[in-house]
Structure 1
């Protein structure tokens, strides 16, 4: 699920909340009963900190015999981040990695100069009904690190810090939040936290993040008296401390952002780069079979798109 074809998201209605810089309504793609909502990139907002791509996967329930099969495909210039709320995905890549990610785990795959991977439903879930729900995001690599060697990191849920207090609970996926810090290392200062608020509970979103956003996963979020329902991306203006308050039924949100990149990034298919020429090179390398193969998943691949 590193790339689902689908239309770009659109800007939302104007919001009364002065703290908002962008309100984005994701576009939904239905992939045979499995919905994916894309919140980034958009025409008006390409990045939030290093985050250049944000997909909400599911929630979905697959019938017995149905499965996810994303064939081997390439990446450059980014790190993919997969985080699940429900279900399982088997990851294989050209480094020889084979790993099943489960709810609360983190898969961080850094493409750098180039990597190939596949994502499929594990064999153990294919014979019976099973759910799938989660987030997949991309972090654009900063200047000077776009061509690093590819790498893969898997952190199980017990390795990621959790917190619970006064109706607030959550897990820090990458970076830090309110004194809690993930052990997972990334190239830039990054905020990425899974946060749940009980009805009426409040949580801070500090002003010291250069860029920051909230994706509402479920429930209703109150920001300065304005209410925002599920599947809305709120990008906040810099400089002000924000209070996030749950509505009457509580809410589940993803906080993300971090330090802004120092230069423009181009994105085409699964490739991210500060150089259009580098993307053209990657296209030609995939077209002519010069990327590495995925051990154990060599028979199939996703062809280079026609346009």
Structure 2
């Protein structure tokens, strides 16, 4: 039933911490999901410094999805978007051939407050890696939900349980937010070959083993799975079809090493357009070797 357990690795960003889950060396992807960070949880005091913000930076070959439990982040990008994201909403940004964006904690800077959420990257299929960049926002009211036997579920993206999210994806996948009461059960769908759950809070039983916050449980291909909540718990369910191996360096994802080298050269030379509404600063290309940047 269980193929692997991944424990988050905490990283201090100079104002708050993230828990890095993917990529993980023995298991780099779950379906098309190639990056998974738990942002916070953290209580921001009013007046947090601008250094906590994520300045404009580039992406290629992927879609990013930001999903918050608490707080607010202001998103600005090079296709002209300016959109705050709030709990239960979806900011889905498709980088394709190249996009730049920033993420700023403007509300927290003004009034303080709790920040807690997930950022994931979904690698694009080879035939879509160079599509035009795009951005879409979906309010919580647009996302399918259901409640059964002590479990509430919101389908963020993809298809599952006879439901389909309005979020446009480029490969078969499921991504869902689950809240469970003690004793509630979550059957893991078997029609996706690669599946995992991430425990954001609470404790659960899977195959007579107990797991807690910050752990991702990757299920064996083709085998059914069952998650039983031992108390109130919040989980993220993710999975999908395998789309092939990917290279990942800094904020770039591609099926080709030479494409990443080209993206690095383009960013270093200033050939990638900055956000129209946030172009006064940017994150420079880091020295090699570059690892994926948290909150990117």
Which category of TM-score, normalised to the shorter sequence, fits these structures?
over 0.9
**Contact map agreement 2:157 2:164 (CA 8 A) in 1:** yes
**Contact map agreement 1:28 1:37 (CA 8 A) in 2:** yes
Q: Which moved more, 1:23-32 or 1:39-48?
A: 23-32
Matched residue of 2:221: which SS?
Answer: coil
- Identify unmatched segments of 5+ residues in structure 2: 289-296
- Using the size of structure 1 for normalisation, the TM-score is 0.91
Counterpart in the other structure of 1:44? 26
**Contact map agreement 1:203 1:243 (CA 8 A) in 2:** yes
How far is the alpha carbon of 1:125 from its aligned partner?
A: 3.6
The answer to whether the aligner puts 1:106 opposite 2:90 as a matched pair is yes
- Correspondence list, 1:143-182, <5 A: 143-182=126-165
Following superposition, which runs of at least 4 residues in structure 1 exceed 2 angstroms of deviation? none
**Contact map agreement 1:177 1:193 (CA 8 A) in 2:** no
Deviations 1:181-221 (A, max 9, x none): 21111000011000011101112112111100000111111
Q: Which moved more, 1:137-146 or 1:61-70?
A: 61-70
**Contact map agreement 2:55 2:283 (CA 8 A) in 1:** yes
Counterpart in the other structure of 2:247? 266
**Contact map agreement 2:78 2:275 (CA 8 A) in 1:** yes
**Contact map agreement 2:57 2:282 (CA 8 A) in 1:** yes
Counterpart in the other structure of 1:13? none
Q: Which moved more, 1:132-141 or 1:197-206?
A: 197-206
- Using the size of structure 2 for normalisation, the TM-score is 0.94
Counterpart in the other structure of 1:54? 36
**Contact map agreement 2:44 2:108 (CA 8 A) in 1:** no
How far is the alpha carbon of 1:94 from its aligned partner?
A: 0.4
Paired with 1:233 and 1:93, the residues of 2 have a C-alpha distance of 30
Paired with 2:9 and 2:224, the residues of 1 have a C-alpha distance of 29
Q: Which moved more, 1:274-283 or 1:27-36?
A: 27-36
Counterpart in the other structure of 2:268? 287
**Contact map agreement 1:33 1:60 (CA 8 A) in 2:** no
Matched residue of 2:110: which SS?
Answer: coil
Find 1:197's aligned residue among 180, 191, 214.
180
Matched residue of 2:283: which SS?
Answer: coil
